[in-house]
Structure 1
């Protein structure tokens, strides 16, 4: 509420000065020091400021100014019906852009295309992107969208805006998923994967049982790893749970592969989490265990081993020649037709 006037080296009360300027009906004595003249006795500032804040005049002014601003509308809103219509049209256009981004993301389609940056051209932007083409299609049903897309700026279609919108949507999804775990016991399922950029990533999933005893598995995300050490993986897991407001004390299970960094009895992720929550029991991933069992079985059976090696060499032979692959596909189509 306190405002400093640099030219006069004094202070005034925003609420009291506003109430006096607007000629509001105040019931108490008007303090000119904090409304017009300005307070400049800095040696007694702390005492005077506290006394003024507790005064009936100040409290009355705060109440009057607050009501005034709450009920006040801008002149443009009051006098112009066109402004209200324009605002509604802009809202419809913006919602069309946001829902289009949401649709493309749900379908796993990229938003971007060739970006043309030309400030003088109203049609500059991602003219060949999925998002732009989808918006042009939807503009046939939303007339305002055509006008919006012809704007030279503030269209909310630039890559930076798209990234921010997608991040907001992702956080909202994670918040909804996290709300389902409120008070529920859950298990953690984690695996390591190498992405297309040849960087190590952590695949993080949560599994829980609802009140109707239905089992659910939720994919939370893929997170970059600084290293594949047990300490780095443990810190990443705890960081994800912290961001989702999920308590480790509610964890009742861990499911990983049998790698030493994950299931090591001394320094593995399992040991680290068990030291903090002994009830988080470890289960070796059944899919990984089955894969290892099949792999060892095939190695010890020379018929299966030779069969798989032969199939692998046949596929290499076929894939190296477009002609051979065409013949192979025709033969396959013929056998499928006979089976049907």
Structure 2
């Protein structure tokens, strides 16, 4: 296992060094995002975006991952330290850093102590851009909150998610129902842009005589 880890680290270093060579003295931007994994650790991914030229002389933007790690704290200073250590290690040119893209959280977006403000002190040309995917998610949340029917639907889905994930027994029962033919869904509500087919599938499960009888101890008439 130790040899495998060393081999993977060597491969990672070779890939990252190749990316750095391709960036060279060209302008580049940094993209950073974080999320909690199943073990409740904060996983942080850092990417660079820059321009490459193909064999026919056409210029096109590319995005490449250069680091993935975990953090115990997600303050703007901790994130800045992680970025600075990586940039210094790879000897990337701060003067060529022309953009930075994160979500709209205070530790990223803050105009006084946010990561984008701290990084601009070192790279004045690094224009901050709020991640379009995160903005779309916020817009969809507000749009879906405008109708009572959609709010009720999402509320019911949230209750179902809590119900099935809150007890091992219920999760097992749901798994048994999936094995009987409904395999095209999962109970994940990380985004308000939910698939209504999930609602119909789970609704049918809740109307199943066997499932209701096992959960409630009663048989529907």
TM-score (norm 2): 0.70
1:180 aligns with 2:33: no
What residue number does 2:153 align with? 307
* Closer, same or farther: CA 323–166 of 1 in aligned 2, 3 Å: closer
What residue number does 2:107 align with? 261
1:283 aligns with 2:129: yes
In the TM superposition, what are the counterparts of 1:25-174 in structure 2 within 5 Å? 159-174=1-16
Larger radius of gyration: 1
Could you report, residue by residue, the CA deviation over 1:194-253 in whole angstroms, capped at 9, with x for unpaired residues?
A: 233322232101111224321101011212224211111011011111222211111111
Between the aligned partners of 1:189 and 1:326, the Cα distance in structure 2 is 40
What residue number does 2:59 align with? 213
Between the aligned partners of 2:76 and 2:96, the Cα distance in structure 1 is 21
Between the aligned partners of 1:165 and 1:321, the Cα distance in structure 2 is 41
Higher helix share: 1
Aligned-pair distance for 1:161?
1.9
For residue 216 of structure 1, give the secondary structure of its aligned residue in structure 2: strand
- Is 1:208–1:215's contact at 8 Å kept on the other side of the alignment? yes
> Please, what is the CA RMSD of the aligned residues?
2.5
Between the aligned partners of 1:293 and 1:249, the Cα distance in structure 2 is 34
For residue 91 of structure 2, give the secondary structure of its aligned residue in structure 1: coil
- Is 1:226–1:232's contact at 8 Å kept on the other side of the alignment? no
For residue 278 of structure 1, give the secondary structure of its aligned residue in structure 2: coil
Gaps of 5+ in 1: 1-158, 333-340
Higher deviation after alignment, 266-275 or 305-314: 305-314
Could you report, residue by residue, the CA deviation over 1:107-129 in whole angstroms, capped at 9, with x for unpaired residues?
A: xxxxxxxxxxxxxxxxxxxxxxx
What residue number does 2:68 align with? 222
What residue number does 1:293 align with? 139
Query: How many residues are matched?
Result: 174
Higher strand share: 2
Between the aligned partners of 2:96 and 2:116, the Cα distance in structure 1 is 16
Between the aligned partners of 2:151 and 2:76, the Cα distance in structure 1 is 35
Between the aligned partners of 1:263 and 1:184, the Cα distance in structure 2 is 26
1:329 aligns with 2:182: yes
Aligned-pair distance for 1:330?
8.7
Between the aligned partners of 1:283 and 1:322, the Cα distance in structure 2 is 42
